[in-house]
Amino acid sequence: MCWCADSRRDGGPSRHGRVCHHRSVDRLRRPPPDFRRAEVVAVDRRTPRLVRLTLAGDDLVGFDAPEPAASLRLLLPREGPGTPLELPSWNGNEFRFADDARPPIRTLTPLSPDPEHGRVEVEVVLHGDGALSRWAEAEPLGDEVAVSGPGRGFVPDPEVARLLLVGDESAVPAVGQLLEWLPPAVHVDVVLEVVDDDAEPSLPGRDGTEVVRCVAAPDDPPGAAMLAAMQEQPLIDDVVVWAAGEAAAVQKLRKLLGERGVPRSRTVVRGYWKHGRAGAGS
């Protein structure tokens, strides 16, 4: 059907009496970049809730992600750890397997990309549920996967003097990468919500960085501890805020920042996953 203002759903004349002669347009989405096959060549259990995987393969030669806090899409073995990789097809709107099932594709932060040697690393939160978490929990050395991307990252204005990075465990890889990437002159405050104090993910040491960690209470919705900490967090003029985590929590954070006088133009808020919904960050 035609989407011009003059068209009617039944294809008849518009309310102005004109018949639309525009060519009918199928609303197809441009396919994302091709999947590149890779193998899990190293597994490093960094904490009880975070595992780092190194992916490598000839197809990854040329794969780069120069911006920090960027994204890649990871296609997992269909039947779980140790099973063969099956590539889905693009149906004009999304990837599907031949039997119409949805493939297990999840979004992660590309770390230490090495386009020359065809390597990239990812860190996966072991939250206990979901195709990605269960697969990574099995420490799937030797499994074949496929990678697509990268998606855009976060490159702060070079004039920024003070950044506030806020997130939960899923944002730890991006926060760590930003801490390594930012020029030393930038002061960085970090507010991080973790699920388990003992499984505290380590961030790279950096001068001019202050980290506030808050532990999520078991019965609270995700992000509640982070939001409480953000009520108290000093917000100086001109601070730029980057936040990522559970979608509803970061939307509440966006509202809180507005109420505390931080303009939208100085906030970047990204929903990385949705409470109770599988594959929602992809």
Ligand X SMILES: Cc1cc2nc3c(=O)[nH]c(=O)nc-3n(C[C@H](O)[C@H](O)[C@H](O)COP(=O)(O)OP(=O)(O)OC[C@H]3O[C@@H](n4cnc5c(N)ncnc54)[C@H](O)[C@@H]3O)c2cc1C
Radius of gyration, alpha carbons of the chain: 22
For 129-164, give the DSSP string.
-SHHHHHHHT--TT-EEEEEEEEP-----TT--EEE
Judge whether 140 and 216 are in contact, CB under 8 Å. Answer: no
CB of residue 150 vs ligand X: minimum separation in angstroms?
A: 10
Q: Which range of residues in 86-94, 103-111, 226-234, 257-265 is near ligand X by CB under 6 A?
A: 103-111
Judge whether 117 and 61 are in contact, CB under 8 Å. Answer: yes
Q: Which range of residues in 20-28, 78-86, 177-185, 272-280 is near ligand X by CB under 6 A?
A: 272-280
The reply to whether 273 sits near ligand X by the rule CB under 6 A is yes
> 105 - beta bridge partners?
75
CB of residue 118 vs ligand X: minimum separation in angstroms?
A: 20
The reply to whether 107 sits near ligand X by the rule CB under 6 A is yes
The reply to whether 277 sits near ligand X by the rule CB under 6 A is yes
CB of residue 130 vs ligand X: minimum separation in angstroms?
A: 2
- Complex with ligand X: residue 7 or 267, whichever CB lies closer: 267
Q: How far is CA 214 from CA 4, 222, 232, in A?
A: 51, 12, 12
- Complex with ligand X: residue 1 or 278, whichever CB lies closer: 278
User: Tokens 């294809």 correspond to what residue?
Assistant: 11
Q: Which of residues 154-213 bind ligand X (CB under 6 A)?
A: 169-170, 173
* Of residues 136, 129, 112, 95, the one with CA closest to residue 282: 95
3-class DSSP assignment, residue 127: coil
CB of residue 210 vs ligand X: minimum separation in angstroms?
A: 23
> 38 - beta bridge partners?
145
Site string (113-152) toward ligand X, x via CB under 6 A: ----------xxx-x-xxxxx-------------------
Beta strands in 195-233 (DSSP E): 209-215
CB of residue 248 vs ligand X: minimum separation in angstroms?
A: 10
| Cβ-proximal residue to ligand X, closest one | 130
Q: Which helix (H) or strand (E) holds 107?
A: strand 105-108
* Of residues 97, 87, 84, 96, the one with CA closest to residue 144: 84
The reply to whether 54 sits near ligand X by the rule CB under 6 A is no
- Complex with ligand X: residue 20 or 171, whichever CB lies closer: 171
- Complex with ligand X: residue 188 or 242, whichever CB lies closer: 242
- Complex with ligand X: residue 175 or 239, whichever CB lies closer: 175
Interface with ligand X (CB under 6 A): 71, 106-109, 123-125, 127, 129-133, 169-170, 173, 272-281
